[in-house]
A and B are shown apart, each in its own frame.
Chain A
Amino acid sequence: MHAGIIFLLVIVGSILFHIFTPWYWTDIASNWQGMDDTITLTFWVGGGVFVAVCLFMIYCVFKFSYKEGRKVEYKPEDKKLERILTWATTLGVAALLAPGLIIWNQYVNVPKNALEVDVMAWQWGWQYRLPGDDGKLGTTKVINISDENPFGINPDDPFGQDDVIIQSDVLNMETNRPIKILLRSVDVLHNWYVPQFRAKMDAVPGVVTFYWFEPNKVGEYEVLCAEYCGVGHYAMRGTVIVQTKQDYNQWLNEQETFSELVAKQNKLKIEENKIAKKIKLNLN
């Protein structure tokens, strides 16, 4: 009866692995505890079904292995049993689906007070933009993107002038404040994913996608691209620093706005022109 024993060991081993595994999810750092809880619930129900089915199978292997002349049950159907099993399964599935849908409902309904953050992705990197004092992000267009206007902000849009632009892959956030991530990409699909926040969504060129979360633990987290985007996909990382309100505001004040960038660049241009003129004069 070695076959039954090995199968039994596989099932017992699976349970032990699950109990003692050193590999499990990272400490959650956002409001999506509900996702973890639904996973745990699914583990209990689904794992229970898996173990029960396998144990029943193993029992049959032990109990009914071939013997010449064994009396075998001949019963093509058992309507009642089939009905019970169908309804029990339906109930189990519904019990798992309900919390899943409830949390999805929260996921797609963004709180009104969420801070909008523009996450712009390209092959292969990230940069970010925050609304300025007016609390609104300016509109953008891919064709506006240039060295002078790295985000492609519409120059005529008044909302865009005070936007805080962060030309770096490091983004700071304030704890316990909902963040609405607005994703866009200038080339291919990407996905802005921080494992500790649990949430993710693809960035799709041509449209703006979104999701939200509320970071609730101060710390530094790695951003990963979670949608295959070409040969540099694995290297497309970034960083999120979650800070207290005070630290965050201090960081925010040090950041540049779009109009400041434009002004700086104009100034640079004027100076460049001056230098060029000087050189010209000297040469003459």
Chain B
Amino acid sequence: MSDEIENKTGYQAQSSETMNEYSGAAVGDIDYVRPAELPEQDLYHGHTFLTKWVFCQDAKVIGVQYFLTAVFTGVVGLILSWLMRLQLGFPGLAGFMTAEHYYQFVTMHGMIMVVYFLTALFLGGFGNYLIPLMVGARDMVFPYVNMLSFWMFFVAVAVLMASFFVPGGPTGSGWTLYPPQAILEGTPGSGAGILLMLISLSLFVIGFTMGGLNYMITILQARTRGMTLMRMPLTVWGIFTATVLAMLAFPALLVSSIMMTLDKVLGTSFFMPTILKAGEVLEYGGGSPILFQHLFWFFGHPEVYIVALPAFGIVSDLISVHARKNIFGYRMMVWAIVGIGALSFFVWAHHMYVSGMNPWFGFFFATTTLIIAVPTAMKVYNWILTLWRGNIRINVVMLWCLGFIVTFVNGGITGIFLGNVSVDVPLSDTYFVVAHFHMVMGIAPLMVIMGAVYHWFPLVAGRMLNEGLGKWHFWITFLGAYSIYFPMHYLGFIGVPRRYFEMYDSPYMTSAIGMNEFISLAAFIVGAAQFILIYNIIKTLKTGKPAGKNPWKANSLEWHTSTVPPEHGNFGERLPVVHRWPYDYSVPGAKEDFMPQTTPPSEVLNTEVEKT
């Protein structure tokens, strides 16, 4: 590793005195910013193809690797959802579709979308790309561990995909993997399938822990001068809080995966009571299936917010930039993110109101669940109040944000139904639940992902995505997804249970047949529309309009790098010094309608800017 020393970027630690010289300000000056406390990071620059693009230590490349791998799993999840909808809308049309297949598709679709697609995309993808850029760091603090994190994720995905090809196929136990059925015959893939799933999840958690440590410590320790916590973009706040949640919640998943693996392989009985199967009593006894549910949802509910909080953060930034207005109630937004994150550890059993746990838990968990609605509602108010008296660019990015608000509020309201314990009794395990969580943690975060892709693509690739294609993509996706999930709630009212391979012929259910056909058709169209984006990206990479620097006129640091796209090390010779929050848009008296975070107060003396 002798060349590593040569490869150091050569940015040396500077003493505090010289630092002050660089920023041209001394203590007492209005432009004064506290000197750096730590020397700058040494970076390892790859030379070969392998170290530059494969085992790369640049967080931006790792972010793109995460993104592409997650999108690949997302496409697999999408195809699985098509197959499910084919069966539900047009039973028997696909001759190969047995109940076993159907349940395997349901399970893999759920697990892929929640863990391997959404979580990996938000934290691994956007987190890696944006955190160092937005806080003004040269890279993540542990680049090597960061690289390992991605490859661990890659192996986890490979193991997961391998389960499609083992005897018995992938597990069909539902994404919640409830024992005892998950590891007993009678559930598809109860042999190799479930084992590979548990191994893959364990690998995912290990890989994610490596990434998560990076995100947290980079945000806490590697922010540039002047970037106080309360000057961080909400995107960073969202990703940070989500990472803390993940670090606390994923161990519960790891533990339950390991215990279930032991139950399966060694015949322990962590989750297995005495069981009678085909006239024979199995060699299990004394375990508790409900214990698994507690562990699973202790992970599973924060998981919802691991997906939602980065989406909250990102959408706040997108709305502010494209409405040309400061985010309304920044401090409230930060506290809401942190508060929701903390509360999310006290609500898990609202997934278990009818699980057979002690029913007295219902009072506690219903109360905590509805309390969480308050900070969430505050966020919604602040988004729409940010639009109020703004100067809103109705471009593709903003359309995705507006689509997010509609779908998120819709899904949030139905959450109040399900969280309110006795209302949950008739609705749980019906299509109302399916509609609710797809709207609130499927479609709504997806809207944000899409908005973020259109917003940051010019930074990543240096070219602007095509607006026209983007608008088609948005409207087909939004209208299609809404017409899938809005009516689906009403199937739940009828009482149609979820996870049914075939709807039944009960007289009050037959009216649902037409709706199922409609939903399936809409699902085919929405899925197909996603390929518009892929086409748009390929076309833009070849012939797209060059983006230039800061095409959206945004304030946050990622748009103020020395080159576009940013190179390894992000900021050229000198790290930026931050003087304000990232939301100084349309400040009265300022020449332009934006004011980058690096603008020192002395440059904008005659404006009515608020101190941040």
Interface residue ranges, A against B (CB under 8 Å): 3, 6-7, 10-11, 14, 17, 21-26, 32, 34-36, 38-39, 42, 46-47, 49-50, 53-54, 56-57, 60-61, 64-67, 70, 72-78, 81-82, 85-86, 89-90, 93-94, 96-97, 100-101, 103-105, 107-108, 122-123, 142-143, 145, 183, 186-189, 191, 193, 195-196, 198-207, 209, 222, 224-234, 237
Contact = CB atoms under 8 A, between A and B. Distances in A.
Contact of A191 (B354, B373, B374): B354
Scoring B173, B276, B410 by chain A CB atoms within 10 A of each residue's CB, the highest score goes to: B276
Nearest to A14: B486
Nearest to A25: B493
Contact of A57 (B374, B405, B495, B610): B405
Contacts of B186: 123, 187-188, 229-232
Interface string B418-434: 00111101111110000
A104 B99 contact: no
B609 to A, nearest CB: 8
A76 B328 contact: yes
Contacts of A64: 323, 387-392
A101 B610 contact: no
Given A46-B417, A104-B366, A53 B356 contact: no
B363 interface: yes
A66 B392 contact: yes
B425 A107 contact: yes
B360 interface: yes
A53 B380 contact: yes
Nearest to B508: A26
A7 B398 CA distance: 13
B184 interface: yes
A67 B371 CA distance: 40
Contacts of A89: 373-374, 377-378
A204 B174 CA distance: 17
B406 interface: yes
A253 B423 CA distance: 38
Interface string B363-377: 100110011011001
A249 B359 CA distance: 33
Interface in B190-205: none
Nearest to A233: B499
A115 to B, nearest CB: 20
A249 to B, nearest CB: 28
Nearest to B101: A231
Contacts of A90: 374
Contacts of A72: 324-325, 389-391, 585-586, 593
Given A97-B420, A200-B354, A226 B497 contact: yes
B260 interface: no
Contacts of A224: 495, 497, 504
Interface string B237-267: 0000000000000000000000000000000
Interface residues of B, number: 111
Interface of B: 99-100, 103, 172-174, 178, 180-181, 184, 186-188, 273-277, 281, 286-290, 323-332, 354-356, 359-360, 362-363, 366-367, 370-371, 373-374, 377-378, 380-381, 384-385, 387-394, 399, 402, 405-406, 409-410, 413-414, 416-417, 420-423, 425-430, 475, 479, 482, 486-487, 490-491, 493-495, 497, 499-502, 504, 506, 508, 511-512, 515, 583, 585-588, 593, 608, 610, 612
Contacts of A36: 426
Contact of A32 (B393, B426, B501): B426
Closest 8 CB pairs of A and B: A206-B273, A195-B495, A72-B586, A100-B420, A209-B356, A188-B181, A73-B389, A46-B413
B440 to A, nearest CB: 12
A140 to B, nearest CB: 12
A28 B374 CA distance: 32
A179 to B, nearest CB: 15
Nearest to B585: A72
A54 B373 contact: no
B409 A50 contact: yes
Given A60-B392, A72-B325, A205-B273, A49 B413 contact: yes
A23 B490 contact: yes
Contact of A93 (B172, B370, B479): B370
A74 B588 contact: yes
Given A108-B362, A193-B497, A209-B356, A61 B392 contact: yes
B612 A76 contact: yes
Contacts of B392: 60-61, 64-66
A17 B475 contact: no
Contacts of A226: 428-430, 497
A113 to B, nearest CB: 20
A230 B417 contact: no
Contacts of B381: 53, 82, 85
B371 A189 contact: no
B373 to A, nearest CB: 5
